[in-house]
Amino acid sequence: MSASEQGTPDPSDTRDESTGLTPRQARLLRIVVGSVLLVVLGVVLVVRLAAHTSVLVVGVYGLAMILCGVVIELSRNGRTRLASWLLGGGLIATLAFDWILP
């Protein structure tokens, strides 16, 4: 018997008051966002490599793609707030490095 069948609420189904999402929904949302950004960064990397063949471009976008993978794993393990901060900070850092580095 599951927790919901026994009459006790499942802790993963309780809503967070600040976001309105259950922890499970928040994890799935971060996983989907991380996966989409991973694909988008891969496409941008291919486009940027067509324009400039630079090790720095590969390094910046490669690190951003690795960070997306880390975010997906953190989200799967329930560390959604940390994953959100890393995803936001990593995306900002990637855009800054792409703009700063030639």
In a domain, 94, yes or no: yes
* Three-state secondary structure of the chain: CCCCCCCCCCHHHCCCCCCCCCHHHHHHHHHHHHHHHHHHHHHHHHHHHHHCCCHHHHHHHHHHHHHHHHHHHHHHCCCHHHHHHHHHHHHHHHHHHHHHCC
In a domain, 29, yes or no: yes
Q: What is the pLDDT of residue 15?
A: 58
Q: pTM of the full predicted structure?
A: 0.67
Radius of gyration, CA atoms only, the chain: 18
Answer whether 58's CB lies under 8 Å from 49's CB: yes
In a domain, 38, yes or no: yes
In a domain, 4, yes or no: no
In a domain, 27, yes or no: yes
In a domain, 14, yes or no: no
In a domain, 54, yes or no: yes
Give the count of domains, the chain: 1
pLDDT by 10s per residue, the chain, length 102: 444 445 554 554 555 556 688 888 888 888 898 899 889 988 988 888 888 777 887 888 888 888 888 888 888 888 888 888 988 998 899 889 878 876
Range of the domain at 67: 21-100
